[in-house]
Structure 1
Amino acid sequence: MTHEVITSVQNPQIKRLHQLLERKGREGQGRFLIEGAHLVEEALKSGAEVLTILYDSERDMDTACRRALENHPQDVQVIAASSAVLAKLSETKTPQGIVAEVKKYQADWNEWLKARATASEDLLLLLLDEIQDPGNLGTILRTAEAAGVDGVVLGKGSVDLYNGKVMRSTMGALFRLPVFTRSLPDVADEWKAMGGSLLVSTLHEKSMAYDRVDYVPKTAIVIGNEGRGVSAAMIERADQLVHIPIYGQAESLNAAVAAGVFVYEAQRKRKE
């Protein structure tokens, strides 16, 4: 753990870190930024590969973050930065006084699925079909982790998983929940080949109410795009089309709310 001091926004390292505020920069460097004491603490406690921490030299580092840093097994570069530097690396109106650079990591999907399928017959997955709103994605991940979902697969064409707003909305859930980015039709075919059931959320006339469905031991629930819904390719692969009844005048539910209703109903049925 090395300590440095940076006060200039023109510093080469600050310029490099600033690039991580954009998707292109995150993909090019294989790293992302998180902001706020809670997220930094969760990243450290989870064992994520935290590379750099910058904290406001005028505020000192958050006590919980410092404690988590002391217990972190890997070496982390620690920088005391000026408020101007932290403002350059922040996406919020009021910078929170601490930012961390974290290396991207995703487990191997095939190895993870094989290991989980061998260890347990009872699996619950959430498949997200082109979710576009970062707040929705972050909230879905936070809810999925809270509900005990085993894993989440983010379909191609979705918002960047490492978007700053996504990260803030997860409240650290991403560091505890397996999340994969893959082709959903391919995942659906693999899932069904191993005996899993695919439930697709849609308002199709042949769909069944969510509370009438038998959430069998291996269930994957598909949540669709906020505007277009679930793709035709996923509807074609469905074992059951399901929906949440609308009793008021709204046309549909927010994607994050719908995901929450489905996963908690699935867990309720499992516990009965």
Structure 2
Amino acid sequence: MAHEMITSVQNPLVKRLHQLLDRKGREEQGRFLVEGAHLVQEALKSGAEVTTILYDHDRDMDPACRRALESHPLDVHVVAASSAVLGKLSETKSPQGIVAEVKKTAADWRTWLDQKGSAVGDLLVLFLDEIQDPGNLGTILRTAEAAAIDAVVLGKGSVDVYNGKVVRATMGALFRLPVFTRSLSETASEWRADGGRLLVSSLQKESVSYDEADYSKRTAIVIGNEGRGVSQELMSEADQFVHIPICGQAESLNAAVAAGIFVFEAQRKRKDRLR
């Protein structure tokens, strides 16, 4: 099938999509860009609302992306473009030959919690308190999805979840894992009012080791900012403080590594309890 061809970086569509490389543009349009054959394929396969795909005319579309596009339930505007256009829409040193425009999810935390909570009592979620590094956030989301965490709540003041580096680091997990950005203090209060527990990662005097913590029932694990840790506001909401013992000389662990240790230990304990 022949597709529309765009060769100029001054094309109105290209100019509009270029704005999505900036957080302000993403917020104004309610959309974001996905770059690379793997991520475009994951977006299509996961049922994300892909609206536009541009691929390098000289390289043709990746066969796996083409197959995923054919089975995608929604109409997608497909454009063959010059390498200059793809370069204009790329954040990587070597443009990967295909980008997709995707609508942001409109999921609401309270609606999701009410629906999920009525069916599943023992929810396990992550609260992320002002995570700043895009690589950290992307890795945490990828790890959370691998550990079958029910959802992630990203506190206001964190890096944009639709930042290109974040999206690439998730390796597609962003399209399958419920992620909500909202006030964590408000969310923590609601969570506890609904019977949920808050496990806060912090080296308090009364803190217990991660492998001694109780992750049963409705539990949220709070991971703090890379520099200052968890805010005092959230610390005051804690039901239990947890930490990961450091055996060597390092003062602390990377936030993404710590989150991974917590979520897999939580799932291990929860599975053991059901045996």
Please give the secondary structure, in 2, of the residue aligned with 1:212.
Answer: coil
Partner of 2:197: 197
Partner of 1:218: 218
Letter aligned with residue 145 of structure 2: E
1:81 aligns with 2:86: no
Q: CA deviation at 1:120?
A: 1.1
Query: 2:3, 2:103 → 1: CA distance?
Result: 19
Partner of 1:261: 261
Q: CA deviation at 1:206?
A: 2.2
Query: 2:3, 2:257 → 1: CA distance?
Result: 43
Query: 1:2, 1:262 → 2: CA distance?
Result: 50
Percent of aligned pairs sharing the same letter? 76
Q: CA deviation at 1:205?
A: 2.4
Please give the secondary structure, in 1, of the residue aligned with 2:40.
Answer: helix
Residues 3 and 78, structure 1, Cα contact 8 Å, conserved in 2 = yes
Partner of 1:40: 40
Q: CA deviation at 1:126?
A: 0.2
Give matches, 1:102-121, under 5 Å: 102-121=102-121
Query: 1:2, 1:80 → 2: CA distance?
Result: 9
Which consecutive aligned stretches of 4+ in structure 1 deviate over 4 angstroms post-superposition? none
Quickly say closer, same or farther: Cα 1:62–1:189, change in 2 above 3 A.
same
Q: CA deviation at 1:2?
A: 8.1
Query: 2:16, 2:101 → 1: CA distance?
Result: 11
Residues 93-135 of structure 1: CA deviation (Å, up to 9, x unaligned): 0111100001111311111101111101111000000000000
Query: 1:62, 1:187 → 2: CA distance?
Result: 42
Residues 156-176 of structure 1: CA deviation (Å, up to 9, x unaligned): 000001000000000000100
Letter aligned with residue 113 of structure 1: L
Letter aligned with residue 247 of structure 1: C
Please give the secondary structure, in 1, of the residue aligned with 2:211.
Answer: helix
Quickly say closer, same or farther: Cα 1:69–1:149, change in 2 above 3 A.
same
Residue segments in structure 1 that go unaligned for 5+ positions in a row: none
Query: 2:106, 2:83 → 1: CA distance?
Result: 32
Please give the secondary structure, in 1, of the residue aligned with 2:236.
Answer: helix
Letter aligned with residue 175 of structure 1: F
Residues 69-90 of structure 1: CA deviation (Å, up to 9, x unaligned): 0011111110101111101100
Query: 1:266, 1:67 → 2: CA distance?
Result: 37
Letter aligned with residue 63 of structure 1: P
Letter aligned with residue 69 of structure 1: L
Please give the secondary structure, in 2, of the residue aligned with 1:138.
Answer: helix
Report how many aligned residue pairs link the two structures. 272
Partner of 1:58: 58
Please give the secondary structure, in 2, of the residue aligned with 1:10.
Answer: coil
Query: 2:249, 2:206 → 1: CA distance?
Result: 21
Letter aligned with residue 102 of structure 2: V
Letter aligned with residue 130 of structure 1: E
Residues 106 and 179, structure 1, Cα contact 8 Å, conserved in 2 = no
Partner of 1:245: 245
Please give the secondary structure, in 1, of the residue aligned with 2:3.
Answer: strand
Letter aligned with residue 25 of structure 1: G
CA RMSD of aligned residues (A): 1.0
Q: CA deviation at 1:194?
A: 1.3
Please give the secondary structure, in 1, of the residue aligned with 2:228.
Answer: coil
Query: 1:203, 1:79 → 2: CA distance?
Result: 53
Query: 1:73, 1:159 → 2: CA distance?
Result: 31
1:138 aligns with 2:134: no
Quickly say closer, same or farther: Cα 1:2–1:220, change in 2 above 3 A.
farther
Residues 106 and 178, structure 1, Cα contact 8 Å, conserved in 2 = no
Please give the secondary structure, in 2, of the residue aligned with 1:51.
Answer: strand
Letter aligned with residue 236 of structure 1: S
Q: CA deviation at 1:216?
A: 1.6
Query: 2:115, 2:124 → 1: CA distance?
Result: 14
| TM score, norm. by length of structure 2 | 0.97
Partner of 2:30: 30
1:21 aligns with 2:21: yes
